[in-house]
Amino acid sequence: MCCSCRERAPRNDLLRFVRDPQGQAWLDPYLKAPGRGAHLCFKYDCIERAVKKRSLSVSFKEATSLPELNGLLQAIVEAQLNKISNLIGLARRRAELVSGLNMLEQARDELSLLVLSSDIAESSKEKLMNGFQKKNSLSVVQAPFLDERSMIWVNSDKNLISWLDSLVEKWSGEALGLLIGKVHRVAIGLKNEPLSQQLKQEILKISQVLVASSSR
């Protein structure tokens, strides 16, 4: 159950926190830390409220503080990005991953998800997208996976600008290539539908965490 909104959700759809003896709560992104845990939704509003009102104290039955909001949001997004790169690595090991513009075009009908690097050229993007437009079930996401609304929010906060820059760099064509053991990749495609769905869910959580429900 989320400590902020009291809604119930499957374990994997909630953020888990553990508490140290000093009363500080820490994010447990892989749900592996021992001891009692307290949970929050992957939602900006729930996280913000929990930081302000120390909502985790109720679950831990002791005064418990969360890290300051911006740092916490960054930690959550970084953890999500790790999960995303792990899932991409899994797809690669299962040979369900396609990369390179020509290979992607050839495999067009088998792909369920297309991940674009942060620095893909508009012309390459257009070329890829035009070829794919007939296939409705294909999802397309562009690194670093922040939607327009979260980009605006991140950009309005000076402390977060350099962090955003590092995220954009982390998902450049060069970084995307390294991630899959290649030189430079502007896009990668996934063939496995369930794995694509899982990856999409993890990506969606990033936007949810960075966008408040009320307009800012």
154 Cβ contact partners less than 8 Å away, ≥ 6 residues apart: 146, 160, 161, 163, 164, 210
Question: Is the CB of 50 or the CB of 87 nearer to Zn ion?
Answer: 50
List the one residue from 1, 5, 69, 160 that touches Zn ion (CB under 5 A). 5
Asked whether position 209 contacts Zn ion by CB under 5 A, the answer is no
The residue among 6 and 93 lying less far from Zn ion, judged by its C-beta, is 6
If one asks whether residue 2 binds Zn ion (CB under 5 A), the answer comes out as: yes
Residues 6 or more apart whose Cβ sits within 8 Å of residue 43: 5, 208, 209, 213
The tokens for 115 are: 């991940």
The 10 Å Cβ neighbour count of residue 52 is 11
**Tokens standing for 99?**
């990369």
Which of 46/128 has CB closer to Zn ion? 46
Task: Quote the least distance from Cβ 110 to Zn ion, whole Å.
Answer: 37
Interaxial angle between packed helices 69-93 and 193-210, expressed in degrees from 0 to 180 and rounded to the nearest 10: 170
Lay out the site mask for Zn ion across 28-57 (x = CB under 5 A, - = otherwise).
-------------x----x-----------
> Which stretches of the chain bind Zn ion, using CB under 5 A?
2, 4-5, 41, 46
